[in-house]
Amino acid sequence: MARRGTISVMSRTLVISSASLESVMVPVTDVNGTVLSGLTVQMAFTTGQPTGPDWKAATWTTLTAPTRYLATCLVGPGGTVTLADGSYEVWVKVTATPEIPVLFSGYLVVT
């Protein structure tokens, strides 16, 4: 698990087809027990450190027993972001005032 500050993510690689419309989900943990679903979350799919226009709206998917939070973004034709074939770094940004952690979470390969 990659860990920075009080919020952490699981690093991994996901492979999807460029013709597919899928929710890309990244598990996010707050070690202080904060209810993450009340915070703003964004995701970026880049080949380097994300900048302002790279950030796309994301939502929280909340699982129970035990409670787990997944940053979720719809990727593919007609989704929040459409990506060409290639390899992308996946980033998650959580606005948890006063902190705004930017977390590398793994790779997305589009084929």
Question: What is the pLDDT at residue 2?
Answer: 43
Give me the residues of the chain with pLDDT under 50, please: 1-5
Write down the pLDDT at residue 3. 39
Separation CA 50–CA 33 (nearest Å): 27
pTM: 0.88
**For the chain, what are the domain ranges?**
2-110
CATH 2.60.40 holds for 2-110:
yes
Q: 7 forms bridges with which residues in the sheet?
A: 4, 30
Query: Which pLDDT belongs to residue 65?
Result: 84
Cβ(48)–Cβ(27) below 8 Å: no
The pLDDT of residue 96: 87
Q: Is 55 exposed, middle or buried (0-12, 13-18, 19+ CB in 10 A)?
A: middle
What does the alpha-carbon distance between residue 102 and residue 111 come to, in Å, rounded to a whole number? Answer: 26
**According to the model, what pLDDT value does residue 12 have?**
81
